[in-house]
């Protein structure tokens, strides 16, 4: 989910904790728990700081170890320890419990969108991405906002958010059923489909689709129960050549391939050598595929420059791949 939704969920859990009279009647403990649920609902995404290093490190690690099984234990203990230093009078057991619930809920809801997490690491390194809920879901966000407004107006926060989360349980069940229906609709349109990657949009019942068959990739959209195929590409395996072996050694290409389950590749011969590009097919936007990885190699298959990330224009992509004559000299030494 997006940061805003995780924030309101953290506040909502702090309100839900007020169902316990011992918490509701203890201002010190209730404020400490609110801090724990608010920070705990954000903690797994602290790995965003990896962007400061480079995109490759961020893509390879975001929603990885910080959303894993060990993280469900480590984050609550770290946050509990930190909050306890400032609020030693709070009920330690209840503070730890609600902080752990906040961390767990963050990781749990993230598996329902198309990006997913490595929630079962180290048991499995597989990305779990159910494609049920959009990264930003207006219903979930504004339902929490409504609950927070009622709390501000003096309505009991415990019962308010008990109602909010009861509604959300039903909502998630409905969305799961809707997602299963997507597969059935796609298979009627493309019976040869082997794998279906669905990205829900913020509009109810609308999905972006990336579909694998034995010989082709299909990029499509689903709206009003109908599938519209936008693009079709031959499904070509990555050649086992020295060129691609060299390209896959690049940190940006390697990070992209570790994350992207459905992509195509292109090779362009240019004045500097070979430009190898990988394109993720899940994120089509206005006829463009913005999530890419590229590497420029010289004639001797040395890496000159590379990039991975989101690019929404050709001009910006060219700037990302710019390199100086010094890079060419260094590679030829």
| Residue 116, domain member (yes or no) | yes
Q: Which of 56, 116, 66 is nearest to 255 (CA)?
A: 56
Residues 228 and 266 in one domain: no
Range of the domain at 290: 242-332
Q: Do 224 and 83 share a structural domain? A: no
pLDDT tens across 23-51, in order? Answer: 999 999 999 999 999 999 999 888 777 66
Please state the domain count of the chain. 3
User: What's the DSSP call for residue 281?
Assistant: S
d(CA 128, CA 118) in angstroms, rounded, equals 6
Closest listed residue to residue 261, CA positions, set 295, 212, 330: 212
pLDDT score, position 154: 95
Residue 180 within a domain = no
- Residue 188 covered by a domain: no
State whether residue 113 is helix, strand or coil.
Answer: coil
Domain membership flag for residue 163: yes
CB 40 within 8 A of CB 79: yes
268 in the same domain as 227: no
In a domain, 183, yes or no: no
DSSP assignment letter at 234: E
In the chain, at which residue ranges do the beta strands (DSSP E only) sit? 195-200, 207-212, 216-223, 226-234, 263-270, 273-280, 291-297, 303-310
Q: Judge if 55 and 141 occupy the same domain.
A: yes
Token couple for 258: 């570790």
Q: Does residue 165 share a domain with residue 41?
A: yes
d(CA 117, CA 121): 9
Whether 275 is covered by a domain: the verdict is yes
Are residues 198 and 119 both part of a single domain?
no
Strand order in the sheet with 263-270: 263-270, 273-280, 291-297, 303-310
Length of the chain: 333
Task: For residue 182, tell me if it sits in a domain.
Answer: no
Residues 278 and 214 in one domain: no
Report the pLDDT value the prediction gives residue 58, as an integer from 0 to 100: 67
Question: Are 100 and 162 part of one and the same domain?
Answer: yes
Exposure on the CB side of residue 25, measured as CA atoms within 13 A: 3
Identify whether residues 47 and 143 lie together within a single domain: yes
Please check whether residues 133 and 170 belong to one and the same domain.
yes
Question: Are 111 and 94 spatial neighbours (Cβ–Cβ below 8 Å)?
Answer: no
Q: Judge whether 34 lies within some domain.
A: yes
Residues 161, 285 within the same domain: no
Which pTM value belongs to this model?
0.85
pLDDT in tens, the chain (333 residues): 889 999 999 999 999 999 999 999 999 999 999 999 999 999 988 877 766 666 667 666 667 788 889 999 999 999 999 999 999 999 999 999 999 999 999 999 999 988 778 888 889 888 888 989 998 999 999 999 999 999 999 999 999 999 999 999 999 999 999 999 999 999 999 999 999 999 999 888 899 999 999 999 999 999 999 999 999 999 988 889 999 999 999 999 998 888 888 999 999 999 889 999 999 999 888 888 989 999 999 999 999 999 888 887 766 666 666 664 445 444 544
Residues 157 and 43 in one domain: yes
Cβ 20 vs Cβ 52: under 8 Å? no
Residue 328's pLDDT is what?
A: 46
Domain finish residue from 147, 174, 201: 174
């Amino acid at each position: 989910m997006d940061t805003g939704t995780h924030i309101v969920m953290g506040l909502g859990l702090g309100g839900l904790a007020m169902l316990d009279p011992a918490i509701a009647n203890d201002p010190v403990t209730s404020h400490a728990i609110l801090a724990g649920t608010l920070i705990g609902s954000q903690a797994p995404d602290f790995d965003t700081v990896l962007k400061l290093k480079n995109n490759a490190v961020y893509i390879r690690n975001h929603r990885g170890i910080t959303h894993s099984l060990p993280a469900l234990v480590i984050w609550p203990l770290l946050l509990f320890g930190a909050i306890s230093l400032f609020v030693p009078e709070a009920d330690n057991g209840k503070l730890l419990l609600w902080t752990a619930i906040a961390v767990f809920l963050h990781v749990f809801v993230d598996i329902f969108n198309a990006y997913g997490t490595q929630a079962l690491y180290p048991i499995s390194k597989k990305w779990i991405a159910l494609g049920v809920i959009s990264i930003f879901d207006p219903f979930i966000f504004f339902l929490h906002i409504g609950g927070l407004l009622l709390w501000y107006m003096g309505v009991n926060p415990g019962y308010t958010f008990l109602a909010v989360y009861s509604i959300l349980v039903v909502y998630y069940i409905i969305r799961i059923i809707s997602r299963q229906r997507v597969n059935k609709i796609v298979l009627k349109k493309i019976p040869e489909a082997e794998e279906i990657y669905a990205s829900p949009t913020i509009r109810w019942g609308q999905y972006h689709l990336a579909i694998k068959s034995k010989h082709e990739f299909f990029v499509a959209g689903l709206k009003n129960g109908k599938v519209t195929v936008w693009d079709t590409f031959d499904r070509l395996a990555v050649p086992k050549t020295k060129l691609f072996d060299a390209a896959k050694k690049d940190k940006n290409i390697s990070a992209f391939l570790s994350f992207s389950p459905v992509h195509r590749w292109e090779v362009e011969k240019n004045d500097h050598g070979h430009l190898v590009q990988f394109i993720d097919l899940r994120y089509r936007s206005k006829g463009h595929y913005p999530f890419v990885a590229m590497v420029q190699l010289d004639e001797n298959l040395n890496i000159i420059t590379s990039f991975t990330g989101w690019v929404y224009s050709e001009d910006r992509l060219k700037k990302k791949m710019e390199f100086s004559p010094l890079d060419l000299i260094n590679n030829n030494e």
